[in-house]
Structure 1
Amino acid sequence: MKNDMPPRHKTLKKVIAAALLLLIAAAVFFIWYYLRTWPLRFHAEFDAFFGKGNWEQISSETKESLIYSVYHRSTNPSLSGERPGKFHEWDIAFTNPGGETEIWTISDHTMRINQDKYWLLSPKRYSARQALTQELMDLSFGMAGQQVLDEILRDILPEQEADCINVEISYRNGNPPPGMYSRLIRQSWFNVEQISASEYLKTDLYDFYIRILAYDYRVEKLTQEEQEHLFGSLAEIEEALQEAFGAYADYDIYLGEGYTAEYSGELAD
């Protein structure tokens, strides 16, 4: 005699199957969201760089790229074709060493361009962690440069002249290889409390230097006397940089046409 399963058992099996499918779908969505959301995925790295409890994500945005594209396939041939690639930006607010709130925009755009260009096993392909480190490094260049401007150049130049100048860390010999970023993020000084021009100049990870650039359009607004003082300060600026950074001094200065200087100390390379 056939023993049919009671209706309530069949219903229970369907409910369990549906629940399992929902759990699997939720897990897949969470993994997808986790991998593409850097402040969540790299929470420990953000804590190490900005300081635990010293940062928060205040906004995020998905944008279309003007640099790379993706090919969209559709069963309708008229809908297939190249489309702009997408990337994400996260605005991170944190308190800097001076006690002021700063907002940095961190993006995965460079990573997506890089990964679109290089195949999975290419030595030039960035991992997400390496791309994050590059973003943090590039943003920290301005922070370290501002320290040089405030602590060295403003002792030499009046406010109007100093405001014509941008100072930041840069590097020679093209873009660093991906492995450099893996080493950089492990450096004990690579955080907002300790990053400085001195640390970048002393490290042997890559050929970093200080770039000092006076914007011509700003200099043109100075009085003739102010321009002459700015141009005449080149030697004093060089002396101050060499005194501050010693054998690690490494800089490239442009104050105007004919007022430039380059220098690499004996330990700078």
Structure 2
Amino acid sequence: MKRLMCAISCMAVAAMAASCVSNPNKKAAADSTATAQTADVEEGFVAIFDGKTFDGWRGYNRTDVPSAWTIEDGCIKINESGMGEAGAKDGGDIIFANKKFKNFELAFDWKVDKGANSGVFYLAQEIPNQPIYISAPEYQVLDNENHPDAKLGVDGNRQSASLYDMIPAKPQNSKPFGEWNTAKILVYDGTVAHFQNGTQVVEYHLWTPKWKEMLDNSKFSKDKWPEAYELLLNCGGENHEGYIGLQDHGNNVWFRNIRVKEL
């Protein structure tokens, strides 16, 4: 726990570091970000996005990166299509395809445009002709003030950092659109925790009766979506491991400082 809290502190430092938008102190901010990232590396984190290329990344169920995704000022950006989820002519979700992860901490920063929606998937499987979320839990990324999804679901369980449509993030401490948030997802032997801006906001346990109960009460229930229900019930497949993915929901969203520590 001590090492985990240290890593969270490093993440908070990164949140106050360089912005991906132009400013007169850009070089100094970049230096601060590099310092924070170095601290994370010392804690065992490895960057899975180099800030310059899509090395290691590709589209879900495809061999290339959809052109709706670009790299902008050291960030992975999904660009506004105005056509809804994966609606761009060459859009769709992306995954880090070099490795499936089992027990890990995933840390990243994110910010959204006004009214924007996205998500981060983990333990994802590639299922032909099916969307990524049929097999993967989702850390919600959202402008809570301006996107209608924030008011749907139950008790805020579609707001940022929530386990989408199942567990609301509490306390809800996201920052407004246009500002950077820090995030972390911890997965260890079925125990999962979501962190937002340095605070743990979600905890749950995969492959348990409670997990089944949550699925039964969600949009992924056996009655509503049997294919998703069976895959999510044994999330991560036979080896309880899977890909990390980023969602194209048709809005401007930025991700940076994406790094993983295997446990």
Whose RCO is larger (CA < 8 A, sep 6+)? 2
- Is the TM-score greater than 0.5? no
Structure with the larger helix share: 1
Structure with the larger strand share: 2
TM-score by length of structure 1 reads: 0.28
Q: Which of the two has higher C-alpha Rg?
A: 1
